[in-house]
Amino acid sequence: MTRCAAPVFSGITQAHFACLVAKAATQGIDIAGDSGSASKDGLTVTWNYEPETESLTIQCVSAPFFLGCGTINANIHNLIDSCT
């Protein structure tokens, strides 16, 4: 089981968060609400979006042994960048 560092992203407007939710949905990941967790293919992430401060924390809390935190967090950063 892998538990990665939890990057915090600032400047995430409600429009940016909506973009992230939509992109996750295209991958079969249901992000419902400003905080929660979702799993797919052995990967589980948690998130906490605070619209009033425009901050978003995303953390991988479980992943298959062959996926390292560097790869996982790089993909999270790429996802965030694609919506900002």
How far apart, in whole angstroms, are the C-alpha atoms of residue 36 and residue 49? Answer: 9
- Domains, the chain, in order of start with CATH, read 8-83 (3.30.310)
pLDDT at 1: 55
DSSP helix, strand, coil percent of the chain (3-state; round to 5): 35, 30, 35
pLDDT at 38: 93
Helix (DSSP H) and strand (DSSP E) numbers for the chain: 2, 4
pLDDT at 3: 87
The mean pLDDT of 11-25, rounded to a whole number, is: 94
pLDDT at 9: 96
How far, CA to CA in Å, does 24 sit from each of 10, 20, 30, 76? 19, 6, 7, 11
What residues contact 82, with CB distance under 8 A and at least 6 apart? 19, 23
pLDDT at 32: 87
